[in-house]
Amino acid sequence: MKKLILKYLTDTISDVEKEQLLDWIQKPTHQKTFQELVKENYDIDMVYNDVNEEQALLKVKKAIQMKEKPVRRLYWRYAAAAVLIIALASTYFLRDTIFNSNSETITPIIVNNQIEPGVDKATLTLETGETVALVKGTSVQTQNATSNGEEIVYIENREKRKENRDKLVYNTLTIPRGGQFQLTLSDGTRVWLNSETQLKYPVSFTDGESRQVELVYGEAYFDVSPSTEHKGSDFKVYHSQQEVQVLGTQFNIKAYKDETNIFTTLVEGKVVVNHQGKTQSLNPGLQSDLNSVTNMLSVLAVNVYNEVSWKEGVFSFHRKSLKDIMIVLSRWYDMDVTFVDLDLGNVGFNGVLTKDQKIEDILDTIKSFGVIKTYEINDKKVILK
């Protein structure tokens, strides 16, 4: 088991081995062994001579015993990589937080807390310019679609499509901060839309011609209806900086307005990413990274679960800075986050959060590891200290 622990700490462990380690590490008798191996691996005693072993062990146990909620079967092999949580499993974290028991305990200040987890909501803009609010629990019927407040479904109308053969009619779906929504296009393609996202799409497609939608900004997961069911027509997702061409696949695009990089992650099938004549083909498990400032387009292998778990109600972070994590959470919780000490934002994390957690519980967990001394909540503003 020592080998598995060291492989986990050095990020060389397989998903199957992580499942084995998770089962083993839940037993109280194994906690001491785990702590000793962590200390041995990172030479903790050479850094801190006043370590409180009992409190350190409690912190390790608390981190290990946090588990994610079950996710859909499709992602079970990726979920295994995220179940075992040791917050900040990096050298400086293990030295400065898990085994440092001298942090001062300061009670958080919470005033008029208005921060709540996000919900299903969106604004539909019709071709006429008319807007329709889509809210969970409220049914809406338009000429081309129906919505139950959690998803909007477009119905294929062949007669209407023939009438509009020379002119595509577009709708736009806008998801605000603190929201999410699902969409089924007229060709059967399913789209999951994350917070602060806008997608423009035709209410129906033309037989035999390329099916095209535009991700104006934000993050969307696509499960594309195969071209074989649409007379061979391909599917394209446009963004101001890139074009993604697919034949029938599942993939995720993250392209927020306030972020420099655009990430396209392939789950199944094959896509081609095009930027100013430069193309990159992606196979499952690969992600393209387009820097909109330098125009550099690169490809790297990623843990797919970490990139797409948001659509399953989970945020999975691997070696993400606290600043980056708070950017994700600020969109979902519709809140503003300020760091009193800017260096706090550079601390790296591994961890899993369910999207229905209260913000106070998340901040308390971060505080318990000594990463922050305390925090303040006032209305929809969070201050980390």
pLDDT tens by residue, the chain, 385 residues: 767 766 665 556 676 776 677 677 666 667 566 655 654 443 333 233 333 444 444 544 444 444 333 333 333 223 322 223 333 333 333 334 434 444 457 899 999 999 999 999 999 999 999 999 999 889 999 989 999 999 999 988 666 555 555 678 999 999 999 999 999 999 999 999 999 999 999 999 988 889 999 999 999 999 999 988 888 899 999 999 999 999 779 999 999 999 999 999 999 999 999 999 899 999 999 999 999 999 999 999 999 999 999 999 989 888 889 999 999 999 999 999 999 998 889 888 777 888 999 999 999 888 877 788 999 999 999 999 9
| Whether the Cβ atoms of residue 180 and residue 192 lie closer than 8 Å to each other | yes
Q: Is residue 53 part of a domain?
A: yes
Examine the domain organization and report whether 137 and 209 are in the same domain: yes
Q: Is residue 353 part of a domain?
A: yes
Count of domains in the chain? 3
Q: Is residue 80 part of a domain?
A: yes
Q: Residue 306 corresponds to which amino acid?
A: N
What is the structure's pLDDT at 235?
A: 96
Examine the domain organization and report whether 74 and 181 are in the same domain: no
CA 21, chain centre distance (Å): 25
Examine the domain organization and report whether 205 and 338 are in the same domain: no
* Residue finishing a domain among 254, 278, 308: 308
Token pair 């071709």 is found at 127
Examine the domain organization and report whether 256 and 177 are in the same domain: yes
Question: Which residue segment(s) compose the domain that 36 sits in?
Answer: 2-87
Examine the domain organization and report whether 70 and 144 are in the same domain: no
Examine the domain organization and report whether 363 and 282 are in the same domain: no
Q: Is residue 284 part of a domain?
A: yes
Token pair 């809140």 is found at 335
Q: Is residue 232 part of a domain?
A: yes
Torsion angle (degrees, nearest 10) of CA 230, 234, 239, 241: 180
What is the structure's pLDDT at 287?
A: 97
Q: What is the pTM of this model?
A: 0.76
Examine the domain organization and report whether 46 and 80 are in the same domain: yes
Q: Is residue 314 part of a domain?
A: no
Q: Residue 256 maps to which CATH number?
A: 2.60.120.1440
Examine the domain organization and report whether 72 and 183 are in the same domain: no
Examine the domain organization and report whether 65 and 154 are in the same domain: no
Written as six digits, the tokens of 257 are 């307005």
Report the C-alpha gap between 91 and 317 in whole angstroms.
Answer: 17
Written as six digits, the tokens of 383 are 């201050």
Q: Is residue 313 part of a domain?
A: no
